[in-house]
C-alpha cells in the first residue's frame, strides 16, 4: 500500500448529525465496535468539530460528509461516510454494515480517493460539490456575467449559476440539467439555473481555468453557497473568482463488490435502468 493510502487510527473522530434522530446512537455503536478492536475514538457533533483527528467517520447523509470534508480537507484528514440519509451517494456503508466496514479498515481493504475541491475568496470558501451563486430575491431572476481566463463567455438572465466539481456533478448540477462527470477527472462543470434562453447549455472546462462571475451595480444582491450549506452575501459589484483549490478532500473507499463509480451510479440513481413493464 502506498504511503498516500495509509490510514492513521491514532485519533479517530466519529461525527454525528444532530438533526438525524438515530445518528448519535449509531455513532456510539461505532465507537463500541472500534473499542472492541482495540481502538479509542471520540464522538463529536457536526456542529462542534474537533481539529486534531487523523481519521473521521461521519454518521448521517451526504450533507454531513460534505460539511466534514470542507473542515477536515485542509488537514488532509481521510473521511469514511456511513449513510443515514436518503441517497448517500458519497457514503460507503449503511448502518447494518458498520461492523464489516470497520473490519475492512483494519484489514487495509480500502483505498483513499483524492477528490478535487473548488475555492473562492482566497480559500475562505471551500466546496467539494459545488459553489452556487443566486440572487437574494426568490421572485426575480439575476443578471450574471461569466468570464473564463479573463475572456467574456456569456451573460445569463437566470435564477443562478452552479460551478461544480466532478464529485458534485451527481448532485444539484445533475438536477439542473448538467452532465455526469467521473470523479477522477480534473474538470469543472458550469450550469445556469433556469436560464431565460434556449441557447445556454452546460459547459465542461479544464479544472485549471480561471472562472469569474460578475453582476451589474444596479442588480439585486447575490448569495453564494458552498455545497448548499455555507452561505455568504455578495455585493452586486463584487467580482467572484472561482478556481480549483490546491486542497483535496480524501474519501475512504472500501474494497467491496459493485462499489466503483459506475455501479453506484446505476444502483443509487437508477442510471440507464429501463422502466418496468
SS3 labels along the chain: CCHHHCCCCCCEEEEECCCCCCHHHHHHHHHHHHHHCCCCEEEEECCCCCCCCCEEEEEECHHHHHHHHHHHHHHCCEEEEEECCCCCCCCCECHHHHHHHHHHHHCCCEEEEEEEEEEECCCCEEECCEEEEEECCCCCCEEEEEEECCEEEEEEEECEEEEECCHHHHCHHHHCCCCCCCCCCCEEEEEEECCCCCCCCCEEEECCCCEEEECCCCCCCEEEEECCCEEEEECCCCCEEEEEEEEEEEEEEECCCCCCHHHHHHHHHCCCCCCCC
What is the tens place of the pLDDT at every residue in 66-83?
999 999 999 999 999 999
- Confidence grade of residue 88 (pLDDT, cut at 50, 70, 90): confident
As a CATH number, domain 3-108 is 3.40.50.10330
Known catalytic residues are: 62
Name the nearest CA neighbour of 168 among 214, 221, 204: 204
Residue 277 pLDDT > 70, yes or no?
no
Map out the domains of the chain as residue ranges: 3-108, 119-246
Please give the pLDDT value at position 5: 63
CA dihedral sign, ordered 51, 52, 58, 63: positive
Q: Residue 36: what are its φ and ψ, rounded to 5°?
A: -65, -20
149 torsion bin: left (phi>0), alpha (psi -120 to 50), beta (else): left
How many whole angstroms from its chain centre is CA 26? 22
**In angstroms, rounded to a whole number, what is the distance separating the alpha carbons of residues 174 and 258?**
22
Q: All 3 cell numbers of residue 253?
A: 473507499
What is the tens place of the pLDDT at every residue in 222-235?
999 999 998 999 88
What is the tens place of the pLDDT at every residue in 137-196?
766 788 999 999 999 999 999 999 999 999 999 999 999 999 999 999 999 999 999 998
What superfamily in CATH does domain 119-246 come from? Probable inorganic polyphosphate/atp-NAD kinase; domain 2 (2.60.200.30)
Q: All 3 cell numbers of residue 56?
A: 473521521
Amino acid at each position: 500500500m502506498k504511503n498516500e493510502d495509509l490510514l492513521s487510527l491514532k485519533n479517530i473522530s466519529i461525527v454525528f448529525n444532530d438533526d438525524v434522530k438515530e445518528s448519535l446512537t449509531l455513532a456510539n455503536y461505532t465507537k463500541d465496535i472500534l473499542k472492541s478492536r482495540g481502538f479509542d475514538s471520540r464522538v463529536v457533533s457536526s456542529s462542534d468539530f474537533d481539529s486534531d483527528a487523523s481519521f473521521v467517520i461521519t454518521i448521517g447523509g451526504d450533507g454531513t460528509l460534505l460539511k466534514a470534508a470542507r473542515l477536515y480537507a485542509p488537514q488532509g484528514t481521510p473521511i469514511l461516510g456511513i449513510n443515514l440519509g436518503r441517497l448517500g451517494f458519497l457514503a460507503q456503508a449503511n448502518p447494518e454494515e458498520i461492523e464489516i466496514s470497520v473490519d475492512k479498515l483494519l484489514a487495509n481493504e480500502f483505498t483513499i480517493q483524492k477528490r478535487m475541491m473548488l475555492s473562492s475568496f482566497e480559500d475562505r470558501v471551500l466546496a467539494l460539490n459545488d459553489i452556487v451563486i443566486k440572487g437574494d430575491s426568490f421572485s426575480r431572476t439575476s443578471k450574471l456575467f461569466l468570464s473564463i481566463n479573463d475572456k467574456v463567455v456569456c451573460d445569463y438572465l437566470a435564477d443562478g449559476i452552479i460551478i461544480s466539481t466532478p464529485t458534485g456533478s451527481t448532485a444539484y448540477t445533475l438536477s439542473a440539467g448538467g452532465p455526469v462527470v467521473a470523479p477522477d477527472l480534473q474538470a469543472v462543470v458550469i450550469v445556469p439555473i433556469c436560464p431565460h434562453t434556449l441557447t445556454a447549455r452546460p459547459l465542461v472546462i479544464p479544472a485549471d481555468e480561471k472562472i469569474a462571475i460578475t453582476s451589474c451595480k444596479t442588480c439585486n444582491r447575490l448569495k453564494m453557497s458552498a455545497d448548499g450549506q455555507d452561505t455568504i452575501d455578495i455585493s452586486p459589484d463584487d467580482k467572484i473568482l472561482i478556481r480549483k483549490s490546491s486542497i483535496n478532500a480524501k474519501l475512504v473507499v472500501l474494497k467491496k463488490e459493485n462499489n466503483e463509480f459506475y455501479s453506484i451510479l446505476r444502483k443509487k440513481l437508477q442510471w440507464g435502468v429501463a422502466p418496468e413493464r
